[in-house]
Amino acid sequence: MQEIIAQFCDTSSLAAVEPVVTVLGVGNINDTWLVRTGELSFVLQRLNLQVFPRPHLVMANLATLSQHFQAKVNSCDQRWEHCLLLPTTTGAPFYTDHQGEVWRAVSHIDRTITHQTITASAQARQVGWALGHFHHLLADLPAQDLHETLPGFHILPCYLDHFDRVWSGAAMKSGHKTGRESSLRFCFDFITARRSGADLLERARYEGRVKVQTIHGDPKAGNVLFDVASDLAVSLIDLDTVGPGLIHYDIGDCLRSCCNVSGEVAADLSQVLFDMDMCREVLAGYFSGAGTLLSAYDRQLMFQAVRLIAFELGLRFFIDYLAGNCYFKVLHEEENLHKALVQFHLVQSIERQKKEIEKIALK
């Protein structure tokens, strides 16, 4: 690790003080550490090359974002900071070690915490505001200036095609091995029943009724940093998925994350509910931060946005389970299956509250 750290800071400072390295966060994809030396602190990450096989595109996007953010003047009434790319000592955007692993450093935003599960309405409103403010800041960054780091990301019909391929080869084998035939059958039937209309957002994109913009791609609650003293949102982090897309995916994912108060690994599936009070707060915060970004038609799509993104995530968890847990980090073999079940139960709760969600979105 010392060799890696030395790529991003002056070796004289390392000789004077032994760096303190601690594991940071609970991310599903990359490995992350907080590095503190005598002079500075920064976040060190090892990219997951199975997920991001073209790291140069990820890093090019981060460089573009850093330049864009640095040119902005903070005009909001609360503390707001950006996660910026830190080059190596030779000026390169990342470092590749002898094993081919890719490492990068980004600025550390001090005096902050994250909330993996939102427990208060004020937190929900702040998460919504943070995403809206983020979209507002990126509104003048052309989507075509950024690369697609994950081709097909959030394209639900593509995930359904992938599911068909994986299911035919692995589903029943997994069921016999684990004794989870009933859960597998539930998931299969759930997916089959919701195929119709799964392309709704992509069809709207194709028909020109919604526009492609620069989006975050993964704006879950745990990617919002909060000030430790005020508990106000300070930053939206984890920018590897930033790129061209539909703003609806971001808003839907934010709602999915904040309004599932039982969390992604809820022990009791009967307690998985989409909390309407949290939904109201998230959207109020978002509208405040985003200003006039959304059209009336965009608002009409909010119910479908959150329903489809929860369906998509459950489908991705299920695909990964069937494929042998290759994408998401897991603590045990059945974790992705359970996470899929949680998301599918969340979809059912969302569907039961369709009219109320639409009413809030159109206010």
User: Which pLDDT does position 13 carry in this prediction?
Assistant: 62
CATH 3.90.1200.10 in the chain is located at 121-361
Task: Give mean pLDDT, residues 51-60.
Answer: 95
Tell me if residue 86 falls in helix, strand or coil. Answer: strand
- Buried-state track 70-104, b at ≥16 Cβ within 10 A, e below 16: eeeeeeeeebbbbbbbbbbeeeebbbeeeeeebbb
| Length in residues, the chain | 363
Give dist(CA 165, CA 329) in Å, integer: 22
| Per-residue model confidence (pLDDT) at position 1 | 83
Torsion of CA 199, 201, 205, 211, to 10 degrees: -170
CATH number of 121-361: 3.90.1200.10
Q: Where in the chain is the domain with CATH 3.30.200.20?
A: 2-108
d(CA 35, CA 44): 7
Tokens 């309405």 found at: 121
Residue 281 zone, left/alpha/beta (φ > 0; ψ -120 to 50; rest): alpha
Tell me the pLDDT tens digit for each residue of 122-136: 999 999 999 999 999
Assigned architecture for domain 2-108:
2-Layer Sandwich (3.30)
Q: What digits encode the pLDDT tens for the residues 5-18?
A: 999 987 666 666 78
Predicted local confidence at residue 118, as pLDDT: 92
Tokens read off for 33: 């550490």
32 forms bridges with which residues in the sheet?
45
The reported pLDDT for the residue numbered 168 is 84
Provide the pLDDT confidence category of residue 29 given band limits of 50, 70 and 90.
Answer: confident
pLDDT digits (tens, 9 = 90+) for 223-238: 999 999 999 999 999 9
How confident is the model over 142-148, as a mean pLDDT?
96
Q: What is the pLDDT of residues 350-359, one digit of tens each?
A: 999 999 999 9
Of 215, 242, 214, which Cα lies nearest the Cα of 85?
242
